[in-house]
Structure 1
């Protein structure tokens, strides 16, 4: 497996957490998890934050809610079920309701 130890750890955690994630989404999540502001976090934490952020921004109405004036917490609340549904569809057994602080915006 190519890449740094951290990249390998993130990739391994991604495969374990969401085995059915499409390749294009996996690549985007990997890129988010490796951003500079995530480097101090353990790989599994960086991955979870990146995964939640990616799904929320790309696969839900989160951006539309923000554009309509909802604050981040309210918008997250309203898309939580949709986010969990996407994650579950990819084989994830974890829920965003189990605690997620978005370090990626």
Structure 2
């Protein structure tokens, strides 16, 4: 973690390390940037911002989700069919929690 980070940036990065102890630095930076750039996460707790940003990042970066949307699947179907791959990524990062079938 870079010592010159702003407080919110630092707090989200610390939350990521607690939630995902095996997360690589390059993924951490991308997830923190995603959280900081999200209007919907501006008032979220650092833990909520870290979790939601990590799930979105993993879904878009490490599953076929975007390709499925391009192929005409609706969001719900694409999320259903990529759920196992998404949770595999989260587990690989050391997460103790995964995304359930009815959770975003």
Q: If the TM-score is normalised by the length of the shorter chain, which range does it land in?
A: 0.7 to 0.9
SS of equivalent residue, structure 1 residue 34: helix
Partner of 1:21: 23
Return the alpha-carbon distance in structure 2 between the equivalents of residues 24 and 96 of structure 1: 22
Partner of 2:87: 84
Counting only pairs closer than 5 Å after superposition, residues 28-43 of structure 1 correspond to structure 2 as 28-37=30-39, 38-43=41-46
Return the alpha-carbon distance in structure 2 between the equivalents of residues 68 and 99 of structure 1: 23
- Runs of 4+ deviating beyond 4 Å: none
The count of residues paired between Structure 1 and Structure 2 equals 100
Counting only pairs closer than 5 Å after superposition, residues 1-105 of structure 1 correspond to structure 2 as 1-37=3-39, 38-97=41-100, 99-100=103-104
TM-score, normalised relative to structure 1: 0.87
Q: What CA RMSD, in Å, does the superposition of the two structures yield over aligned residues? A: 1.4
Return the alpha-carbon distance in structure 2 between the equivalents of residues 4 and 39 of structure 1: 14
In the TM superposition, residue 36 of structure 1 has moved relative to its aligned partner by: 4.3
